[in-house]
């Protein structure tokens, strides 16, 4: 572990990514204490107020307000909760299904493998955002359905990563030894093989978190994810379109929040890849 931290610290961009992610988690947990206003609080007198440092800005609205007079800074802080929730739930969903599918395919091989990987190939043959839109159009637009859609879209990638990783472990001696000792299939799969095959899965989950946040923001931007007045960053950007000439701050900051979050997770994923398995980077 100490080695891991030492190695990780050497990679400056990975450290930057880590700090961004920690900051995001901090914002999400302590949102009610950090945010000066509630995210849905409207102050119609002060609608479209520019950021504090611009002419006409007010100190109580640090990053300005939107068309309903809602404090942008507070909405962005609360938005961190939604992004983290979307990331965690959809990655959790993709991971649990993808892990099971990939594990079964690699462990049992043969027809099971062929069948599962065919489904995976079909899912991968449709671009992610398109598949997500299809799922949302079936279920109806909402944040929950967007999370489900993103969760489903991620399944094949995890299944492939898990399969590849398990395949290399399956024939190793410690697995054979455990099998001879009488371990059941379940034990072999999840207790013996999984911990040793976890590295690429961890890296993929970190990167997957970034794409989940990005896809959720995209769906909300299209009006197919979070609905108003939810302080979701993508939805906030979608609202800002018509104010591009009069209130450009409505564009800058929610987008910056999405960008930094995605960048943070990507940097962290890149760093983890470097430290945990440098060979992966070449693939």
Under the binding rule (CB under 8 A), the answer on residue 142 touching other proteins is no
**Least distance to other proteins from the beta carbon of 8, Å?**
17
- CA 201/CA 208 separation, integer angstroms: 10
Answer positive or negative: Cα dihedral of 189, 190, 195, 200.
positive
Give the contacts of 165 (CB within 8 A, at least 6 positions apart).
Answer: 102, 106, 197, 198, 199, 200, 201
Contact 69/47 with Cβ under 8 angstroms?
yes
* Residue tagged 């800002």 (tokens): 240
Compare residues 193 and 216 and give the one whose CB is closer to other proteins. Answer: 216
Under the binding rule (CB under 8 A), the answer on residue 119 touching other proteins is yes
Which residue from 126, 172, 195, 242 is in contact with other proteins, where contact means CB under 8 A?
126
Under the binding rule (CB under 8 A), the answer on residue 118 touching other proteins is yes
Q: Quick one: which segment of 33-41, 103-111, 196-204, 247-255 binds other proteins (CB under 8 A)?
A: 247-255
- CA 261/CA 269 separation, integer angstroms: 12
Under the binding rule (CB under 8 A), the answer on residue 258 touching other proteins is yes
What does the DSSP 8-state code read for residue 58? -
Under the binding rule (CB under 8 A), the answer on residue 244 touching other proteins is yes
Number of residues that bind other proteins (CB under 8 A): 46
**Least distance to other proteins from the beta carbon of 242, Å?**
11
**Least distance to other proteins from the beta carbon of 56, Å?**
18
- Whether the bond between 229 and the residue before it is cis, its omega within 30 degrees of 0, is yes
Compare residues 177 and 241 and give the one whose CB is closer to other proteins. Answer: 241
The size of the chain, in residues, is 283
- CA proximity to 161, closest of 102, 207, 108: 102
Under the binding rule (CB under 8 A), the answer on residue 240 touching other proteins is yes
Contact 234/218 with Cβ under 8 angstroms?
yes
Compare residues 15 and 251 and give the one whose CB is closer to other proteins. Answer: 251
The binding site for other proteins (CB under 8 A) comprises 13, 118-119, 121-122, 125-130, 133-134, 136-141, 210, 214, 217-218, 221-224, 234, 237, 240-241, 244-245, 248, 251-252, 255-256, 258-259, 262-263, 266-267, 270, 282
């Amino acid at each position: 572990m100490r080695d891991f931290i030492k190695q990780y610290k050497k990679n400056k961009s990975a450290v930057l990514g880590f700090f961004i992610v920690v900051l995001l988690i901090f914002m999400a947990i302590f949102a009610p204490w950090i945010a000066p206003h509630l995210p849905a609080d409207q102050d119609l007198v002060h609608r479209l107020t520019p950021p504090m440092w611009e002419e006409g800005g007010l100190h109580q609205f640090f990053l300005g307000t939107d068309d309903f007079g809602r404090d942008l800074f507070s909405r962005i802080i609360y938005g961190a909760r939604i992004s983290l929730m979307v990331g965690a739930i959809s990655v959790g969903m993709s991971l649990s299904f993808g892990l099971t599918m990939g594990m079964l395919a690699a462990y049992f091989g043969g027809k099971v493998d062929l069948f599962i990987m065919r489904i995976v190939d079909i899912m991968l043959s449709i671009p992610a955002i398109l598949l997500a839109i299809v799922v949302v159009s079936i279920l109806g637009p909402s944040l929950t359905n967007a999370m489900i859609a993103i969760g489903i879209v991620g399944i094949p990638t995890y299944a492939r990563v898990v399969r590849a990783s398990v395949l290399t472990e399956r024939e190793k001696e410690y697995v054979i030894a455990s099998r001879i000792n009488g371990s059941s299939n379940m034990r072999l799969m999840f207790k013996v093989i999984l911990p040793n095959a976890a590295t690429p899965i961890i890296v993929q989950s970190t990167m997957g978190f970034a794409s989940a946040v990005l896809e959720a923001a995209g769906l909300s931007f299209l009006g197919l994810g979070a609905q108003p007045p939810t302080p979701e960053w993508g939805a906030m950007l979608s609202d800002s379109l018509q104010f591009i000439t009069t209130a450009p701050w409505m564009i800058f900051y929610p987008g910056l929040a999405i960008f930094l979050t995605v960048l943070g997770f990507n940097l962290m994923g890149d760093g983890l890849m470097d430290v945990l398995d440098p060979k992966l980077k070449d693939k």
